[in-house]
Amino acid sequence: MSAPAIRIEGLSKRYELGPRLAGYVTLREAIMDVATAPFRRRPATSQGGKQEIWALRDVTFDVAHGEVVGVVGRNGAGKSTLLKILSRITEPTTGRAEIRGRVASLLEVGTGFHQELTGRENVYLNGVILGMTRAEVRRKFDEIVAFSELERFIDTPVKRYSSGMVLRLAFSVASHVDPEILILDEVLAVGDHAFQQRCVRQMEHVAQSGRTVLVVSHNLGTLAEIATTGIWLDKGRVCRNGPLSTVVDAYVASGGAATGDWSGPEPAPDATAWVSGARVLQGGEAATGTVKIDQPFEIELRYTVRRPMSFCRVGVLVLGGFGSVIFSSAEPDDPAVTPFERAAGEYVSRCHVPGWLLAAGTYHLTPHIDDGPTRRLFTADEACSFTVLDSASRGTSHTEQGRPGVVAPKLAWSVSRR
């Protein structure tokens, strides 16, 4: 049996928190340090007066050649630290990581890009940093630029690019390096929807070519399209390792992913009305953060009216990546009906969403209450989130990878013979 592409044994990473112990310090930092010293509280300590945090603790797993692994976990779980160690950006405190094959990493937008150089010059620079020869970059240059769709701007300095343009170019270079191991950190969540879909297709191509991919993403729908194996990290430790569906189910059940449930904080004493909770249900039961693409679900809002209102409109925004509004709805969702009067009391409203509306992916809910046509009385930005999983049979999809697009409606078609 061949050795794995990645073998990690007892990997741990410790960071020390607090003031800088050594290294270069500017004059301004030195002056500020002296000036603020009398006002600083002594930090909690662990050993030798230093505050410590373990980003990773005793992590052990193998990744086989040609395997596509999705890494999930909450913010601060240690995912990015793990990828930085595998990319040789930082060293572990204890344990070891063995990597067999050429590695290409894309951990942050524009890493390795020089702002004063043009896009063309940065393609060569970044390609060499990722391990390509100049001849390899020259041979693939047109393909890289075509994928990024930046032909018009390729001779413009990168400092004039938007962050999305930088990401397009960076991802295009990294994915065309032909590495044996490709490491990605949340890059599939950046850019517009069309670019994200191209990234997913490119990752599928990389995986089908037999290369190994390790990708971190909060978008469980995207991971389901490209990964076969999952690793769930929590507080620096591996909680589950195995088939992606099993790992995702355990992660979602723990409440670590989109929970589909939110309880608001205590309102201000003078608040007139407020939303106290929101949750997603499917089949009459709490969806624990995931809903099936082909079945209807409900968005439930619990709210309180403290004083009678002559105009009370309760609604919700459903947002996708980067805060883009996918759709909004409010009661009564009919322009011919005047918003309801509301007596003081506690209420529950449910918005019924049909199946085959939202495409696979993660969405956020922003509930709100209006007390006038243009006056927002209460709002809770991205109070909770949920994930739509494409668990339908392949016969209902347009491609083997699912139904592309921001929405996934099943529409009636008619056929006539000419």
How confident is the chain (418 residues) per 10-residue block, as mean pLDDT?
A: 87 77 51 59 50 90 91 84 89 92 72 84 88 89 91 93 82 81 73 67 78 82 80 92 84 63 84 93 83 93 94 90 77 72 94 92 88 84 83 54 74 88
For residues 64 and 156, membership in a common domain is answered with yes
Domain that holds residue 123: 6-32+49-253
Identify the pLDDT of residue 398.
Answer: 54
User: Residue 41: inside a domain, yes or no?
Assistant: no
CA distance 294 to 280: 15
CA distance 70 to 183: 10
Question: For the whole model, what pTM was predicted?
Answer: 0.60
User: Residue 43: inside a domain, yes or no?
Assistant: no
Identify the pLDDT of residue 238.
Answer: 94
Domain endpoint, select from 253, 273, 299: 253
CA distance 325 to 196: 17
For residues 222 and 266, membership in a common domain is answered with no
Task: Give the CATH number for residue 199.
Answer: 3.40.50.300
| Amino acid found at 60 | T
User: Residue 417: inside a domain, yes or no?
Assistant: no
Domain endpoint, select from 253, 280, 304: 253
Domain endpoint, select from 253, 269, 299: 253
Identify the pLDDT of residue 44.
Answer: 46
3-state class percentages of the chain: helix first, strand second, coil last, to nearest 5: 25, 35, 40
CA distance 312 to 338: 10
For residues 248 and 346, membership in a common domain is answered with no
Identify the pLDDT of residue 216.
Answer: 87
For residues 69 and 218, membership in a common domain is answered with yes
For residues 316 and 246, membership in a common domain is answered with no
Identify the pLDDT of residue 142.
Answer: 94
For residues 10 and 124, membership in a common domain is answered with yes
For residues 214 and 270, membership in a common domain is answered with no
User: Residue 55: inside a domain, yes or no?
Assistant: yes
CA distance 104 to 182: 5
For residues 196 and 301, membership in a common domain is answered with no
CA distance 410 to 406: 13
For residues 64 and 152, membership in a common domain is answered with yes
Identify the pLDDT of residue 221.
Answer: 67
Answer for the pair 283, 295: CB distance below 8 angstroms, yes or no: yes
User: Residue 224: inside a domain, yes or no?
Assistant: yes
| Amino acid found at 352 | H
Element (H, E) at 313: strand 309-319
Task: Give the CATH number for residue 273.
Answer: 2.70.50.60
Identify the pLDDT of residue 343.
Answer: 94
For residues 221 and 363, membership in a common domain is answered with no
CA distance 78 to 81: 5
| Amino acid found at 362 | T
Answer for the pair 369, 313: CB distance below 8 angstroms, yes or no: yes
User: Residue 173: inside a domain, yes or no?
Assistant: yes
Q: How many domains does the chain have?
A: 2
For residues 315 and 375, membership in a common domain is answered with yes
Q: Retrieve residue 255's tokens.
A: 């409440």
Side-chain-facing half-sphere of 122: CA atoms under 13 Å: 30
Identify the pLDDT of residue 3.
Answer: 84
For residues 104 and 150, membership in a common domain is answered with yes
User: Residue 365: inside a domain, yes or no?
Assistant: yes
User: Residue 40: inside a domain, yes or no?
Assistant: no
Identify the pLDDT of residue 236.
Answer: 92
